[in-house]
Amino acid sequence: MSDQYNTMKHVIAALVHNEAGVLARVAGMFAARGFNIDSLVVGRTEDPKLSRMTIVVSGDMAALDQVRKQLAKVVEVVKVVDYVGTDYVERDLMLVRIATPPETRREVIEVADLFRARVVDVGHQELTIEMSGTEEKIEAFIDLIQPYGIVELARTGVIAMARSEKAPGKTPRRRATSAANIPSGASEDNGIDPTQLPPG
């Protein structure tokens, strides 16, 4: 099987203790194994002692399985979940400043409206637009506005959460994979239970 089929995007969530150095240790673990992190977001949860990390990385299943297991062994990591094969919601937030002289401003606003984005700042020759959605949606918007001239762009990276349990008899769009072995000192799961990780 070709690398194209072996390689896939993984969205991994980790619940960690809110301590100094955890982010560096986690990022270093991926880097040491040759994985390029597409995005890494850290945010607080409802528990001030815990933070939630959402990591988007591409790689083959076997290699990432080893990374997940190593990640779960880090002392500060409480829980690791890989959303591969699971029905989940993801969002990325973007702020983009676009060159908009009077003759193109209306066009840019119309494109933003189509994507349900909103203008958050107006200048004489520029507009700043805020947009949230999936990576695919944001990339499509960027492609459309690129010809107008992007002055500055910032994105938060992906955050993700498992969808709520459906009513009995309804089949989710994707089935969760079976749970992996749980290493000592931490837990890891490929099947998602919404109670496993707090929102964040």
Ranges of each domain in the chain: 3-87+171-189, 90-160
What pLDDT does 171 receive?
53
**Radius of gyration for the alpha carbons in the chain, expressed in angstroms and rounded:** 19
CB distance 62 to 44 below 8 Å = no
Is the pLDDT score of 150 beyond 90?
yes
Q: Which of 113-122, 139-148, 156-165 has the lowest mean pLDDT?
A: 156-165
pLDDT band with cut points at 50, 70 and 90 for residue 169: low
What pLDDT does 67 receive?
80
Tell me which residue has tokens 């949230």.
132
Mean pLDDT value across residues 126-141:
96
Tell me if domain 3-87+171-189 and domain 90-160 are identical in fold: yes
- Highest average pLDDT, of 5-14, 155-164, 171-180, 189-198, comes from 155-164
Mean pLDDT value across residues 47-68:
85
CA distance 141 to 94: 10
Q: Residue 52 class from Cβ within 10 Å (0-12 exposed, 13-18 middle, 19+ buried)?
A: buried
What pLDDT does 81 receive?
86
Q: Selecting from 3.40.50.300, 3.10.110.10, 3.40.50.1100, 3.30.70.260, what CATH number does the domain 3-87+171-189 have?
A: 3.30.70.260
Tokens of 144: 């459309």
Mean pLDDT of the chain: 81
Q: Residue 15 class from Cβ within 10 Å (0-12 exposed, 13-18 middle, 19+ buried)?
A: buried
Fold of 90-160: Alpha-Beta Plaits (3.30.70)
| 69-117 tens-digit pLDDT | 888 888 788 988 888 778 889 999 999 999 999 999 999 999 999 999 9
Task: With both helix axes pointing from N to C terminus, report the angle between 61-73 and 22-32 in degrees, rounded to the nearest 10.
Answer: 150
